[in-house]
Amino acid sequence: MNSVQSNSSVTNKLSPEEERAPAAVLKGSVFTLPILKLSRCDLREIEIDLTQSLSAALDFFNHAPLVIDLALTQELDEAMDFIGLQALLHKHQLVPVGVQNGTPDQIAAARKAGFAVLTGQTIDKIIENTAQKSHAKESPKSTRQQRENERSQAVDDDHAGSTQVIHQPIRSGQRVYARGGDLILLAAVNAGAEVIADGNIHIYAPLRGRALAGVTGDMDARIFCQCMDAELVAIAGTYRFFEDDIPDEINHKSVQIYLTGDQLNIRPLE
């Protein structure tokens, strides 16, 4: 399964005299689509395997929109017949909407056949992107604004929805907020400091301050830290604070913190 996300949200702007309820409005939304992974280009072989998979799934894929993943066909010598593929999928009551992970040649051919091209991301790519982003932030040539965002007292990620990686310690009085995503810290969160994320928080160093995950209500968010010495931890608003009373089994241990119902669990990571 793959998430296809569109961030565009464009409405038609009309001058006041011609103002009326718009007949068409573009909005962004998130869908989960099934992926058809192809490893060969021979349509006959594809049909045999596809028929088998579909018979197992009964009516589940009836008229389902589908994304075709070409990652495994990139190295092949033969070219994919996208028009033939489209006909084959239609025959089986599937609606192919786009392709992802194709070579430039494959993408051109797919476009010609009327497929959308999705910028599908494998896990590897996401990690790579995150690494590049944090590298860009570290480089001395990054803009003044970027540095300020990164270093200011209330650090706020302007790239909403992506993972934020912090390399410097978060010190007393400082606050970091990863809006719409996860927060990864590679240095200590000191007493009097606050780290906040809409998603999960990972701290590969001591947590001596406060950590609040899932602050916009994500009950599945978790906090992981390498050395539990926190003043306060919270997940989706359920919090617990400590005054020199961290239980021995988690004190200075690697722990994960998560919610079950309204119960906040802090468990050692062994």
Q: Closer to another protein by CB, 49 or 138: give it.
A: 138
The answer to whether the beta carbons of residues 266 and 255 sit under 8 Å apart is yes
Least separation in angstroms between CB 169 and another protein: 5
Task: State the Cα–Cα distance between residues 17 and 213, nearest whole angstrom.
Answer: 48
**Shortest Å, Cβ 185 to another protein:** 13
Q: Give the shortest CB-143-to-another protein separation in angstroms.
A: 7
Residue 166 bridge partners (DSSP): 185
Interaction between residue 90 and another protein (CB under 8 A): no
CB nearer another protein, residue 73 or residue 190: 190
Q: Alpha carbon of 195 to those of 101, 174, 239, 266: distances in Å?
A: 36, 8, 14, 17
Among 5, 152, 216, 265, binds another protein (CB under 8 A): 152
Is residue 180 part of the contact set for another protein (CB under 8 A)? no
Say how far apart CA 213 and CA 230 lie, in whole Å.
14
Comparison of 111 and 171: residue with beta carbon closer to another protein: 171
* Pairwise CA distance, residues 67 & 116, whole Å: 9
Q: Segment contacting another protein (CB under 8 A): 12-20, 66-74, 115-123, 134-142?
A: 134-142
Under the criterion CB under 8 A, does residue 133 sit at the interface with another protein?
A: no
Query: How far lies 57's CA from each of 44, 52, 62, in Å?
Result: 20, 9, 10
Per CB under 8 A, the segment of 24-32, 67-75, 109-117, 145-153 that binds another protein is 145-153
Does 188 sit near another protein (CB under 8 A)?
A: yes
| Contacts of 46 by beta carbon, 8 Å cutoff, 6+ apart | 38, 40, 85, 88
Residues 191-220 that bind another protein (CB under 8 A): 191-193, 208
Q: Which of 42, 49, 128, 148: binder of another protein (CB under 8 A)? A: 148
Candidates 59-67, 171-179, 218-226, 233-241 — which segment interacts with another protein by CB under 8 A?
Answer: 171-179
The single-letter DSSP state of residue 169 is: P
Between 89 and 203, CB nearer to another protein: 203
Pairing of β 263-268 and β 255-260? antiparallel
Distance of alpha carbon 179 from alpha carbon 184, whole angstroms? 13
- Residues making contact with another protein (CB under 8 A): 140-144, 146-148, 151-153, 168-174, 187-188, 190-193, 208
